[in-house]
Structure 1
Amino acid sequence: MKFVLKSISKNSGRLGQLRIKESNELATPLLMQTTKGGSIPYLTADTFEMVSNEQQLLQLTLSTMDQMAESLAQWNRPLSEYVGLPGHNTMLLLRDPCEATPAGGNDRDVVPLFTRRGKESLTATQYMDMVAKFAPDVYQGLCDADTNPESTKKRVQKSVDRTERFMDECYALHAKEQRLANSTLLAPIVGGYNTFARTQSIKHARAQPATSYGGYILEGFHTNGLAATALQATQLLPIVEHCLQQLEDDKPRLMPGAFTPLLTLELIRRGVDVFDTSYAYCAAVNYKALTFNYTKGAEQQTAFLDLTDEAIKEQFTPMLNGCSCLACRKHTRAYIHHLYKTHELLGPILLMIHNLHHYLGFFAVIRSSIADDELSQLIDLLRLQTAGVNMDYRIEANSKVVSKAGLGKGFIAAAAV
């Protein structure tokens, strides 16, 4: 993997080109496509082509795909072909950014892996053995990232010390494993919200030979899922800025998690390069269509359209006026609300199509805003969407869900709260 920094601005962040394979170049800031079990949630490969036909970086997670390791050991073609999305690049992470990761289970020599079958414990050797079977284009090093804004100093220090031991093994095994000869390792930076601990983690990574890893993944700020949408910028941004000032410019920086659009812009302004679509998924699974405005001159919008709202049952207009996605061109708010009420699988499919289309368009505007040195104006636009009032982009869990029986199958009926 090679990262080329094209431009950098104090007020607008970085523009770059990420070359994972020789013939593929991805523009940064980059939005990875979050997957579950190797598939983009609710969408087939053919359906996703209706959202975007551009080259993508697929974010795969070991917590949703670990059961595939044995069959992948016999697979001698690219991982993207195995998951039915040939031609795309792949990045393997340990945890699913869409779902809350339970706390605990860490020990001196193991990291917990929470799968559909329950908790498993991985040593660094076991982890690298599984990664070698997947043979992704890019993967993260093993780390103890079980920290959040409430973590104690002792818990934070343990996460750093354990991560150093895990990574010493990962660096050594990466150099020896033939199946990982064409894979790039990302060095994890942990340490919770403690600047001293973060500096210790960075120093350990930078003490390695420059060729032993190809970039950084900043972990340990949240417990994934909706927790990432509730992070306080005043608490997170100083820690991230402290870390980025100590990292070299010619390596990409990745931060997984469902950060709000406004917080994402602030992270980009400080120099983070790669994010994922877990925010779009978390909105969709809670029956919210993304409707915030990121285009100058367009009409003011709210952050979301709540598809469980009875007020839209007779609104025969698109989810978002002017949106060119398949869902908005072909269907109305009233129809998608009807799909929600009748538990139809088409409902979340259309909602996911819209949310991914909207978020991909948002990142295209981000890159053009950086090129024009206008990221600050975009931040102001998102902050003050409606009559000069600060917009709230947090995603709240849908309180109208009766049961979880239909999750993953279609919309669930609403009941009076």
Structure 2
Amino acid sequence: MKFVIEKISKSSGRLGYLVQTETEKRFRTPLLVQTTKGGSIPYLSREVFDYVTEEVPALQFTLSTIDHMVESLKLFNGTFGAYVGYPECLSLLIIRDSCELIPSGHNDKDIIPLFTRRGKEHITVKRYMDTVETLKPDIYQGLCDADTNLESSKKRIIKCVDRTAQFMDACYERHQNSKVLKKCALFAPIVGGYSTHARCESIKHAKAKGEKLANGYIFEGFHNYGLSACQVDSEQLIKVMTHCLNELSDDKPKMMPGAYTPPVMLELISLGVDIFDTSYAYCAASNFKALTFNFNLKTVENATSQPFLEISNESLKEDFTPLIRDCSCLTCRKHTRAYLNHLYKTKELLGPILLMIHNLHHMMHFFSTICKCIADDNLPDLIKLIKFQRGSLAVDYSIKPNTKIISKNDQDKNYTILNDDQK
């Protein structure tokens, strides 16, 4: 995998592309990779995903959701992308499922916990690198301890940096000596919570041991994934990331997995982060929220938008308009808000499918607009639009869990809200 930079702007981030080694296919950065569960894009088959986009996707595979497939893959003569029906994709392997909240704790000296469909597993460096050799992804992250957040103690942060350095020493050695991994790109993890000193120590180790082996960097340990990524302290996050990115060279891509909100993504892109995933779109769809935020700089000045539409709202039951009037996705062309509200009431699986189609389409067009704004050097204008949506107050993009329940007797009434003791 090669990384090529086309343009760098002090105020608008940078444009570039990742190039697959064998196929020479290019993937534009800032890049939005499709997060997967069990090797599949959540709610969508390959055939349905083709309705979302005709472009070759970049897929983010998660070890915690595909660990049970490793044994069968040893008998498969090909890449994991081909195994799950996406032979032409750019494959990226990370350890933790960015869509789900991951429990803290369960850490030990020589292992990290992996929460899979079979329960908690213990992952050693040897087992992890054996798995990487079996999967043969285009890009994979190094093993790390990322169990930190804003509330982590100083002792926990120090331990995560030390253990990650220990893991990465073994990963670098295995990567260098492996014939299979010569075609795979290694992303070195940068950890350390919200401590700039700890992050710098992690960067120093990555530079000292992996300067020639690491093809990029992945930043973890700011949250516990799932909806917690929507609620990060953006000021603290940007402060730490600004310091970290100043310590790293510009010639390697940087990735931040997790369901970061669009305003936070834009701020990070302006600093030089290149790769994000679609877990925000998934978290919205799984909580019955349709993304509706406006990213069109040419809209009327007094037009205002909300970040998402609550499909569970009773007011939508007779609203026969699309989710967004000018949206060209399959959901908006064929279905209405009232129909999606009906699907929610009847608990039909088609509801999350249609929402996922729309949310992915919306996020992908959002990233296309980001690339255009960087090319035109007006990303600050887009940041302002996303943050305020033509209003005077900053808009809240954080996703709250959907706690509404519906029984058969309630389908023609207002929904019942869970009490605290029912949650």
TM-score class, shorter-chain normalisation, is over 0.9
Shift of 1:297: 3.0
Shift of 1:390: 1.2
Shift of 1:179: 2.5
Tell me the residue number matched to 1:408. none
RMSD: 1.3
Cα separation, 2, equivalents of 1:76 and 1:174 = 21
SS, match of residue 211 in structure 1 = coil
Query: How high is the sequence identity, in percent, across the aligned residues?
Result: 55
Cα separation, 1, equivalents of 2:358 and 2:84 = 23
Structure 2 unaligned blocks of 5 or more? 408-413, 419-423
Give every structure 1 segment of 4 or more consecutive aligned residues whose post-TM-superposition deviation is greater than 4 Å. Answer: none
**Could you tell me the TM-score, scaled by structure 1's length?**
0.96
Tell me the residue number matched to 2:411. none
Deviations 1:144-188 (A, max 9, x none): 000000001100000000000000000111122233221111100
Tell me the residue number matched to 1:132. 133
Tell me the residue number matched to 1:302. 306
Q: Judging changes above 3 Å, is the alpha-carbon distance between structure 1 residues 234 and 332 closer, same or farther for their aligned structure 2 residues?
A: same
Tell me the residue number matched to 1:6. 6
Q: Does 1:193 align with 2:220?
A: no
Tell me the residue number matched to 1:377. 381
Cα separation, 1, equivalents of 2:45 and 2:180 = 28
Q: Judging changes above 3 Å, is the alpha-carbon distance between structure 1 residues 416 and 106 closer, same or farther for their aligned structure 2 residues?
A: closer
Tell me the residue number matched to 1:146. 147
Q: Does 1:326 align with 2:327?
A: no
1:343 to 335, 344, 347: 347
Asked whether the 8 Å contact 1:302–1:386 carries over to 2, the reply is no
Q: Does 1:15 align with 2:19?
A: no
Asked whether the 8 Å contact 2:403–2:417 carries over to 1, the reply is no
Asked whether the 8 Å contact 2:4–2:17 carries over to 1, the reply is yes
Cα separation, 1, equivalents of 2:391 and 2:266 = 21
Asked whether the 8 Å contact 2:319–2:337 carries over to 1, the reply is yes
Tell me the residue number matched to 1:317. 321
Cα separation, 1, equivalents of 2:78 and 2:406 = 44
Cα separation, 1, equivalents of 2:105 and 2:294 = 39
Shift of 1:211: 3.1
SS, match of residue 266 in structure 2 = helix
Cα separation, 2, equivalents of 1:202 and 1:305 = 40
Cα separation, 2, equivalents of 1:143 and 1:116 = 21
Asked whether the 8 Å contact 2:14–2:270 carries over to 1, the reply is yes
Cα separation, 1, equivalents of 2:321 and 2:114 = 44
Q: Does 1:71 align with 2:72?
A: yes
Cα separation, 1, equivalents of 2:405 and 2:282 = 17
Shift of 1:67: 0.3
Deviations 1:332-375 (A, max 9, x none): 00011111111111111110000000000000000000111111
SS, match of residue 181 in structure 1 = helix
Shift of 1:7: 1.0
Cα separation, 1, equivalents of 2:405 and 2:253 = 40
SS, match of residue 114 in structure 2 = strand
Asked whether the 8 Å contact 1:100–1:225 carries over to 2, the reply is yes
Shift of 1:134: 1.1
Cα separation, 1, equivalents of 2:366 and 2:78 = 33
Shift of 1:5: 1.1
Tell me the residue number matched to 1:356. 360
1:192-271 → structure 2 map (5 Å cutoff):
192-208=193-209, 210-271=211-272
**Could you tell me the TM-score, scaled by structure 2's length?**
0.94
1:388-407 → structure 2 map (5 Å cutoff):
388-401=392-405
Q: Does 1:288 align with 2:289?
A: yes
Asked whether the 8 Å contact 1:142–1:167 carries over to 2, the reply is yes
Asked whether the 8 Å contact 2:98–2:279 carries over to 1, the reply is yes
Deviations 1:24-72 (A, max 9, x none): 1111100000000000000010110110111221000000000001111
Deviations 1:109-166 (A, max 9, x none): 1111111111111111111111111111110000000000000110000000000000
Larger displacement relative to structure 2 (187-196 or 77-86): 77-86
Structure 1 unaligned blocks of 5 or more? 404-412
Tell me the residue number matched to 2:416. 415
Q: Judging changes above 3 Å, is the alpha-carbon distance between structure 1 residues 414 and 180 closer, same or farther for their aligned structure 2 residues?
A: farther
Count of aligned positions: 408
1:56-67 → structure 2 map (5 Å cutoff):
56-67=57-68
Q: Quick one: which amino acid aligns to residue 196 of structure 2?
A: T
